[in-house]
Amino acid sequence: MSLGEFGRIARYFAPLAGPGGLGLKDDAALLGCETGRRLVVTVDAMVAGVHFLPDDPPDLVARKLLRTNLSDLAAMGARPLYYLLATALPASCEDDWVARFAAGLGEDQRIFGVHLLGGDSVSTSGPAMFSLTAIGDVAEGAEIRRSGAKAGDKVWVSGTIGDAGLGLAVLKGRYPALAEEHRAALAARYRLPEPRTALGPKLAGIARAMIDVSDGLLADLGHICEASGVAATVMAAALPLSPAALAVEAGEPDLRARCATTGDDYELLFTAPADADVAIFAASREAGVVVTMIGAVTAGAGVRLLDAEGRAIAIGRAGYRHF
């Protein structure tokens, strides 16, 4: 017999609660805000069959949900603190699935230093769905918005680009001839993003505009340009590719354009004044995350991907949209 809503909360989720969560036993949670800091709040939802596969390991589903939200906080330059979780589960979902889901959250709580503050659990006749609200904080006035980019800024990105999209292709059976280590590395990038929670806060006061790559590098850079009233160019040759993506590129010469348009990388994409490179590399070193300069902000509107001769590469669709 199932533990039921109350039983599952008590058994699996209450142990994840931080002090302000009141043991998940009250109507709401309490939290303060340090003097001179502001809270940063974001929410993301995931649906089985849309954002994850129904037979994905439950701990990875939970961790991906938490990490995509932590990535949004990092993109504002905020440090992560708490989260709230709403779950809608079909009646067929067993306690063991919930136990493994909660175990995944517990593991990432330890890694990222966050705590559960509250939640709701309901039943659904449809696919499982989760909605997570993450809360962090940032020094007052230090938040990094999308709207601060200026002509003359350079464009930077953390980590490597396109791996998550390639990982999804691998999981769907593509690239069967690729070396097993590369296939595994790409699939891992799709299944479990690495939010740049250490780098994001270190870029406060350095980056002028920032976003995390979820829709696709060019689409997300487009969001910055639109919010900032500027244009941007990206040099395809400068895009940082992983060893696995480079191995794919060997047999697929136009891969870079695809890497620039697939989503789910959860890398930080930011602009900064041209003389900020020393500070950026210092932040990169402290956070242990590679950053690469990939382009420039100009006057105008729109985003162009340039080949080695400076010609614009035609892009079929700029990023991925949910409808």
The residue from 15, 111, 140, 181 that contacts a second copy (CB under 8 A) is 140
The CB-of-102 to a second copy minimum distance in angstroms stands at: 16
What is the H or E stretch that residue 256 is in?
helix 255-259
Whether 194 contacts 71, CB under 8 Å: no
CB of 176 to a second copy, least distance (A): 29
Measured in degrees and rounded to the nearest 5, phi and psi for residue 156 equal: -125, 155
Q: 14 to each of 17, 69, 103, 104, 136, how far by Cα in Å?
A: 5, 21, 12, 14, 21
Whole-Å CA distances, 2 to 13, 30, 248, 288, 319: 15, 30, 46, 44, 42
Q: Which of residues 152-171 bind a second copy (CB under 8 A)?
A: none
300 interacts with a second copy by CB under 8 A = no
Give me the least distance between CB of 127 and a second copy, in Å please.
5
Q: How near is the Cβ of 33 to a second copy at its closest, in Å?
A: 4
Residues 26-85 that bind a second copy (CB under 8 A): 26-33, 35, 38-47, 49-51, 72-73, 75-76, 78, 84-85
Q: What backbone phi and psi angles, to 5 degrees, belong to 92?
A: -75, -10
Residue 17 beta carbon to a second copy: minimum distance, rounded to whole angstroms: 13
Question: CA 100 to CA 60: how far, in whole Å?
Answer: 9
Closest CA to 78 of 229, 169, 212: 212
- The Cα 145–Cα 230 span in angstroms is 14
Residues 304-323 that bind a second copy (CB under 8 A): 321-323
119 binds a second copy (CB under 8 A): yes
Residue 208 CB, nearest approach to a second copy (Å): 14
**Comparing C-alpha atoms, which of 154, 162, 143 is closest to residue 75?**
143
When asked if residue 6 is in the footprint of a second copy (CB under 8 A), the reply is yes
143 binds a second copy (CB under 8 A): yes
Closest listed residue to residue 89, CA positions, set 195, 28, 3: 3
Contact 240, 119 (CB under 8 A): no
Residues between 182 and 211 with contacts to a second copy, criterion CB under 8 A: 210-211
Window 221 to 260, contacts with a second copy (CB under 8 A): 223, 227
Lookup result for tokens 């990875």: 60
Nearest approach, Cβ of 66 to a second copy (angstroms)?
A: 14
Contact pick of 124, 279, 302, 315 for a second copy (by CB under 8 A): 124
**Binding-site ranges for a second copy (CB under 8 A):** 2, 4-6, 22, 25-33, 35, 38-47, 49-51, 72-73, 75-76, 78, 84-88, 91, 117-127, 129, 131, 133-136, 138, 140, 143, 145-147, 210-212, 223, 227, 321-323
